[in-house]
């Protein structure tokens, strides 16, 4: 039963099925954010109409969407079709009929969140690398020098960072950075594999690296995804307030 997994207030990502099939670059795919307003039946949900800044996004009736739900038990995914939309008690709502079974969701592609986070990194030592690749328990060697870098976008699958240090593609790095969790700063220590590196044309001796998380546990990944979702929500709220001030002053 869907009510055993999805609760009122659960956050949702919505992505049009047609767009998902057409777009090749995941970074270009449009994702809308909403919440469950009510559970009408075991295959019908009432959702808040998505918004961008202060503008309502009127998802089309009969439009089909890929939906990802954020729950206490992790991510769940299914497909749904918009069957109605209306205003009720000053709330703009849409009715979504589920067209597939709900399933536990393990992301392969992730929304990238632009940011500017301080980060430190170093290549793994040979014994660390051997243990990581063989999925064996290991302890990171303390006290080794770390190079400071800046994360410029982050996702549930990896990150992109800029550094004056060039790391070779395929190399494995120890990386740490801080994210807010429940209002407090938490240190995240991860292992990442360098997928690509390039020198910036307008900034000589500055290198852009793309890194994929390696061997990350599900709990840590979900915390990172939750952080991204919350920061994106805060940004949309700030943008809405700024637009409201501009409109009131005009």
CATH number of the domain enclosing 17? 2.30.110.10
Other residues' Cβ atoms within 10 Å of the Cβ of residue 32:
17
Among candidate residues 162, 226, 171, the one with its CA nearest the CA of residue 195: 171
Side-chain half-sphere CA neighbours of 66 within 13 A: 13
pLDDT of residue 22: 37
Per-residue confidence (pLDDT) for residue 152, from 0 to 100: 96
Per-residue model confidence as pLDDT tens digits over 211-228: 999 988 888 988 998 888
Asked if residue 156 is part of any domain, the answer here is: yes
CA angle 190, 194, 195 (to 5 degrees): 130
Task: Single out the residue in 67, 82, 104 at which a domain terminates.
Answer: 104
Q: Which of 84, 27, 25 is nearest to 59 (CA)?
A: 84
* Domain harbouring 162, CATH code: 2.40.10.220
Answer yes or no: do 132 and 224 share one domain: yes
The domain containing residue 8 runs over which residues?
Answer: 2-104
Identify whether residues 73 and 151 lie together within a single domain.
no
Q: Does residue 237 sit within a domain?
A: no
Q: Which two tokens stand for residue 26?
A: 């995941």
Q: CA 185 to CA 168: how far, in whole Å?
A: 30
DSSP characters over the chain: -GGGT--TT-EEEEEEHHHHHH-S-GGGS--EEEEEEEEEETTEEEEEPPEETTEE--PPTT-EEEEEEEETTEEEEEEEEEEEEEEETTEEEEEEEE-S--EE---SS---EEEEEEEEEEEPPHHHHHHHHTT----PPTT---EEEEEEEE-SSEEEEEESS---TT-EEEEEEEEEETTEEEEEEEEEEEEEEEE-TTSTT-EEEEEEE-S--HHHHHHHHHHHHHHHHHHHHHHHHHHHHHHHH-
> Are 122 and 226 within one domain?
yes
Q: Residue 147: its pLDDT value, please?
A: 96
Query: How many domains does the structure of the chain reveal?
Result: 2
Of 77, 104, 131, which residue is a domain's last? Answer: 104
Give pLDDT, residue 248.
Answer: 60
Is 244 a member of any domain? no
Which residue ranges in the chain fall short of pLDDT 70?
1, 18-29, 106-110, 239-250
64 and 91 together in one domain:
yes
């Amino acid at each position: 039963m869907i009510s055993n997994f999805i609760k009122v207030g659960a956050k949702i990502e919505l992505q049009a099925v047609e767009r998902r099939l057409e777009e090749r670059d995941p970074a270009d795919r449009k994702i809308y954010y909403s919440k469950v307003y009510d559970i009408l039946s075991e295959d019908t949900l009432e959702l808040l109409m998505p918004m961008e800044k202060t503008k309502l996004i009127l998802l089309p009736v009969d439009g089909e969407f890929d939906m990802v739900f954020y729950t206490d038990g992790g991510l769940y995914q299914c497909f749904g079709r918009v069957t109605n939309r209306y205003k009720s008690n000053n709330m703009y709502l849409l009715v979504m009929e589920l067209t597939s079974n709900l399933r536990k969701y393990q992301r392969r592609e992730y929304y990238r969140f632009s940011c500017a986070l301080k980060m430190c990194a170093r290549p793994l030592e040979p014994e660390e690398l051997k243990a990581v690749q063989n999925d064996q328990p290991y302890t990171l060697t303390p006290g080794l020098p770390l190079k400071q870098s800046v994360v410029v976008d982050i996702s549930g699958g990896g990150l992109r960072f800029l550094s004056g240090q060039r790391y070779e593609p395929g190399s494995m790095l120890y990386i740490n950075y801080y994210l807010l969790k429940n209002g407090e700063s938490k240190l995240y220590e991860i292992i990442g594999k360098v997928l690509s590196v390039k020198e910036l044309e307008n900034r000589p001796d500055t290198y852009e690296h793309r890194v994929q998380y390696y061997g990350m546990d599900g709990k840590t990944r979900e915390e990172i995804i939750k952080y991204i979702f919350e920061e994106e929500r805060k940004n949309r709220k700030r943008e809405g307030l700024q637009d409201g001030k501009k409109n009131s002053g005009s």
